[in-house]
Amino acid sequence: MRDVRERLKGSIPDLITPMKKGAVDEAAFRKLVAWQIAEGSHGLVPCGTTGESPTLSHEEHMRVVQICVEEAAGRVPVIAGAGSNSTAEAIALTRHAKAVGADAVLSVTGYYNKPSQEGLYRHYASIAEAVDIPIVLYNIPGRAIVEISVDTMARLSKIANIVGVKDATANLMRPSRERAACGKNWRLLSGEDGTALGYMAHGGHGCISVTANVAPKLCSQFQEACMQGAFEAALAIQDKLVPLHDALFCEPSPGPVKYAASLLGLCSDEVRLPMMAATEGARTRVRDAMAHAGLKV
């Protein structure tokens, strides 16, 4: 468990799921995974929100995780999206992730049904008891409405296979408070590209990133600089990436990031309803931001 925990660091793209004529484009996804590793990504997250997990069938979800594990082949850790607002469903997805060889799972809070803090604690404790795999909590109140409090996170950190958090709160006091409450072994992963620099300065270990889908080398270099404490170098990279961070969320994700990926020849820009492909205005903004970052399109 300690070895896996220590590998959860650096630039970890929250992978898009390529689509073609309504189906998952498995060939494009395999190429995407191989390219990400070649470009220096430190880990991979299949079937996160950026991967359109809400619109994937269970069969598609499980297949995407399996392909990612196969293509990664142990070179970088795979943190499989396995969350749900149903505890039983989350356990089933977590069991599958372990069965196909994922290194860890990413498990979101109870969106829509808005559990209490005790409900969140019992939800995660039940998953951890059912499946012996490292679990990274996903704290994203902007989408899920509910937020894991620091006190609840401290309780959960005492469960051996709950190892850290993807923090998409954009609250830069959270990592410092969580380090104090959860201990030095708690893995702190930003889930918000724009504030990742500050998060790392507060003791973070890495970022589960949307931007790394299309700028993996820059995001990897940025994280390497942060992990070495070279924050001046990291800031120079941040200045290149900030317009791209903003552009990729100028409309609901993953429309803009899939368009950016299409410009790089990685996949089509196809998304599934209710998500929409990027509008022309968003496309112009994405192209300009990619040029600012030095990405060749």
Q: Which residues are catalytic?
A: 138, 166
Q: How far, in Å, CA of 209 to CA of 256, rounded?
A: 14
Greatest C-alpha distance within the chain:
49
Which are the contacts of 38, defined by CB distance < 8 A and separation ≥ 6? none
Helix (H, G, I), strand (E, B) or coil at 16: coil
Place of tokens 């999206």: 81
| Residue 162 backbone dihedrals phi, psi, to 5 degrees | -100, 110
- Stated as kind and residue range, the H or E segment containing 206 is strand 206-209
Q: How far, in Å, CA of 33 to CA of 66, rounded?
A: 12
